[in-house]
Structure 1
Amino acid sequence: MLKLILKKMGIIIGIGILILVLGIILFLYLSPQFGGTPTAVQEEKFSLTNHYKEGKFINSGNVDMSMGLQDMGKSIVGYFKQTKGVIPEQPILVETILPSDLLNYTGKIRLFWFGHSTFLLQIQSKNILIDPMFGEVPAPHPMLGSKRFSNHLPITIKDLPRIDAVLISHDHYDHLDYDSISKLKDKVDAFYTPLGVGSHLESWGISKDKIHELDWWEEIMFSDLKFVCTPAQHFSGRGISDKAKTLWSSWIITSKDDNIFFSGDSGYGKHFKDIGEKYGPFDFAMIECGQYNTLWHDIHMYPEETVQAALDVKAKLMMPIHWGAFKLAMHEWNEPVERLLEASKTQNINIIVPKIGQEIQIEKDTNNTEAWWDEVNAEAN
């Protein structure tokens, strides 16, 4: 009798495991979240670059992007571990943006930060979105990631004005979000991405003639603006088998009056000096500062390196980004900005740290570092 019961239990467990595995396989292959795959024609173009080898993009200097099983295990445990301070104890308050305040803007350059690396840039009467991640969780499924630190965003996608162009730095979920793109695509005129990232956009129903893929150091004119796709030290991939199949980058946006730098995600490297020497100085630089760890130091900077990167690109004014929205590392949520400000004390550099949703006016905000994050912690206590 006992053998029969155990046998039935084994069959039930086996069927359950089979269903789970089948469900995972179907999700991996059928979910639109994972995006598309570069075509053979695209890959032929990739092979002409000096940073594409054996079917994958590589970093300058062959910086290693791999992580061993032991380190991978540590990062997974650390990610799901509930550690005090890693997530704010209460939601971050954001400033509301009224739709009417954005319509038909013709003034001097200004930006709005949505947390992490997402920005709306209004320049030369144009609306430019950078890395538009408006989703709740930076993952292919809500169960695979932690929620945004704020309960809502400054403005909904529906209430945004017509978007002239979208710039995307790479295809990771915290920078390229399927639901956000799906809601945005009908109100965007053009998309600019590093090589290969357009394959995701095409798979999500965006017309090929709206997509412009660039290699590092390539320039393209968009009306009276110049976009430059510049290097970064990172990696890409949305699924199990597509690591480094698309390129990652930083971006430069130049008008007749302003020169802007957006770092994307990057470890510290020589490319910052190269960018500064070729295209600097920059009136404003948005530079990664957050989601770092010793396990992946080559692909994400420490805050002290963020300060050095700002000096390398010759930034007149710098803002730390890639923090304040999601838990993607094990440090306390406000540690990046605290370390950054401490490191900057001995350097001649202007830094701003605006609230999420606050209007950023480059000419006026030359040293706005009001510690609003301290208020979040104080109110929680």
Structure 2
Amino acid sequence: MARAQNTDVERSLGRRMRGAAGLAALAGLAWVARDVPAALGGRLSGARAERAARSPQFREGTFHNRTGTRTMVAEPGRNLLRELIFGKQKRRPTAPVPLLRPSAGGPEAADELNIVWYGHASTLVEIEGRRVLLDPVWSDRCSPSGLVGPRRLHEPPVGIDELPPLDAILISHDHYDHLDMATVRALLAGQSAPFLVPLGVGAHLDRWGVPAERIIELDWSESYQVAGLEITATAAQHFSGRGLRRDGTLWSSWVVAGAHRKVFYTGDSGYFDGYAEIGAEHGPFDVTLMQIGAYDRAWPTIHMFPEEAVTAHLDLRGGLFVPVHWATFNLALHDWSEPVDRLWAEAKARDVRLAVPRPGERVVVDEPPAVDGWWQSVA
């Protein structure tokens, strides 16, 4: 019966659509209907589910933060939908975001600590001659569908097939702006590096065809050695979920440590006392990659405000601060450039070393470029 109903719908659509454009649109709808279930990812089962159940973060069927958090806080008199539609915020740049192609670096590059920010949270860490890619998303939308959902404000500065050989790929959690099926499949085909993910996220990769030997799942405080680096999953204060089920996989921040240099990446997180603990155990860090965008007072405990990110950086005993999670996708109600404006003011007030690269710009951590306010001319 269901198939007959679907056939009737398809025929009706076919009658209404004329010519090649109509057939192309119908084919596109069929592709989306087929691919969306796969993009939702997998479910925990078997040994993976048993391991998750043993985690200190897992109880009553889901993962939890250390303290209670809410992903939406009601505010009397505020209508978020109305604000989204009719709000006066400048949520898009008025001119193209300037993109750069990262240089390959000179002969000394293997000894440098470098950061290449590709946009949003997607970042390449070059550390002691090794390369680690963080939360890669190259798709046009952060969504299970290519037709709906937040769309990029700028193109990736390089094609995913232009990435250099990678030693590890880290995923902080399974939200669509951090874990993208098409990007994972492209990296599966074009790279040989393992995927390091929080507990449970391997179920998504498994469904998308990543072989078991390339999936490394870690709980908080667990480490993995790869290419001479020690990579540790550390705590974060956030949540997870790709479909209707929430918190079925873990979320994390990451420590990437070489013999002499250290990098910290927040993933997505609200401000919490875990940053001081991570700083005491793993710091100091040469550079921290800190989430600064997509905040709102309606969800204050799961995304940091820029001022909180500066406090977290100091808690972590960070050296250079490089902001991520801004400028690429509209995921909140603030102005497009507000996160980095607030960050720049707070960093100056608290004497924090700051670099704000353009997408694709290669930052040498020991000789970072001066902050020049490049975003203000397009904001």
User: Shared topology, TM-score over 0.5?
Assistant: yes
- Are residue 94 (structure 1) and residue 96 (structure 2) matched? no
State the distance in 2 between where 1:165 and 1:196 align. Answer: 18
Answer whether contact 2:157 2:360 (CA < 8 A) is retained. Answer: yes
Deviation, 1:220, is 1.5
Query: In the alignment, does 2:43 pair up with 1:41?
Result: no
Alignment of 1:1-80 (within 5 A): 27=33, 31-65=37-71, 74-79=79-84
Residues 38 and 196 in structure 1, CA contact (< 8 A), matched pair in contact too: yes
Displacement of 1:351 after TM fit?
1.1
Given candidates 165, 168, 179, the residue that maps to 2:168 is 165
Give 1:315's aligned residue: 318
Aligned counterpart, 1:124: 128
Q: Is the 8 Å Cα contact of residues 354 and 368 (structure 1) preserved in structure 2?
A: no
What count of residue pairs does the alignment treat as equivalent?
A: 353
State the partner residue of 1:6. Answer: none
- Are the counterparts in 1 of residues 36 and 145 from structure 2 also a CA contact under 8 Å? no
The one-letter amino acid paired with 1:94 is L
C-alpha distance in 1, partners of 2:36/2:340? 39
CA separation of 1:30 and 1:301: change in aligned 2, threshold 3 A: closer
> Per-residue deviation at 1:106?
2.7
Q: Distance in 2 between matches of 1:161 and 1:225?
A: 18
The separation in 2 between residues aligned to 1:185 and 1:103, in whole angstroms, is: 29
Residue in structure 1 matched with residue 204 of structure 2 by the alignment: 200
Which residues of structure 1 form unaligned runs of 5+? 1-11
Report how far residue 158 of structure 1 moved: 1.2
CA positional deviation for 1:41: 2.1
Pair 81,119 (structure 1): closer, same or farther in 2 beyond 3 Å: farther
CA distance in 1, matches of 2:224, 2:282: 14
SS in 2 for 1:221: strand
In structure 2, the partner of 1:7 is none
Instruction: Kindly state the Cα deviation for residue 359 of structure 1 after the two structures are TM-superposed.
Output: 0.8
CA distance in 2, matches of 1:104, 1:141: 43
Kindly state the Cα deviation for residue 271 of structure 1 after the two structures are TM-superposed: 0.8
Deviations 1:228-266 (A, max 9, x none): 1000000000011x2100000000000112110000000
Which secondary structure does the structure 1 equivalent of 2:158 belong to?
Answer: coil
Q: Which amino acid aligns with 2:57?
A: H
Q: State the Cα RMSD in Å.
A: 2.7
CA distance in 2, matches of 1:201, 1:103: 36
Identity %: 33
Q: Give, as a single letter, the amino acid of the residue that structure 2 aligns with 1:216.
A: W
Whether 1:373 and 2:362 are equivalent positions in the alignment is no
- Cα distance in 2 for partners of 1:343, 1:86 equals 22
Q: Is the aligned partner of 1:299 residue 2:308? A: no
Q: Residue 79 and residue 127 in structure 1: after superposition, are their counterparts in 2 closer, same or farther (change >3 A)?
A: farther
Deviation at 1:126, TM superposition (A): 2.0
Q: Secondary structure, in 3 states, of the residue corresponding to 1:176?
A: coil
1:230 corresponds in structure 2 to 234
| Cα separation, partners in 2 of 1:114 and 1:102, compared to 1, 3 Å | farther
Q: 1:81 to 1:257 in 2, by over 3 A?
A: farther
Question: 1: CA distance between counterparts of 2:98 and 2:276?
Answer: 36
Q: TM-score, normalised by structure 1?
A: 0.86
Give unmatched runs, 5+ long, in structure 2: 14-28
Mapped partners of 1:101, 1:159: distance in 2: 15
Structure 1 match to 2:16: none
1:9 is matched with none
Q: 1:256 to 1:86 in 2, by over 3 A?
A: same
Q: Distance in 2 between matches of 1:302 and 1:31?
A: 33
Q: Is the 8 A contact 1:28 1:34 kept in 2?
A: no
- Per-residue CA deviation, residues 203-229 of structure 1 (Å, 9 max, x unaligned), is 110000111000001111113100010
TM-score (norm 2): 0.86
Give SS of 2:276's match.
helix
Counterparts in 2 of 1:123 and 1:29: CA distance versus 1, 3 Å? closer
**How far has the Cα of 1:43 moved from its partner?**
2.0
Alignment partners' CA distance in 2, 1:348 and 1:84: 29
Deviation at 1:124, TM superposition (A): 2.5
Distance 1:80 1:105, change over 3 A: farther
**Matched-pair contact (CA < 8 Å) for 2:239–2:302:** yes
Deviates more, 1:78-87 or 1:134-143: 78-87
What does 1:123-162 align with in structure 2 at a 5 Å threshold? 123-150=127-154, 152-162=155-165
Distance in 2 separating the partners of 1:102 and 1:264: 30
Between 367-376 and 300-309, report the one with greater CA deviation: 367-376
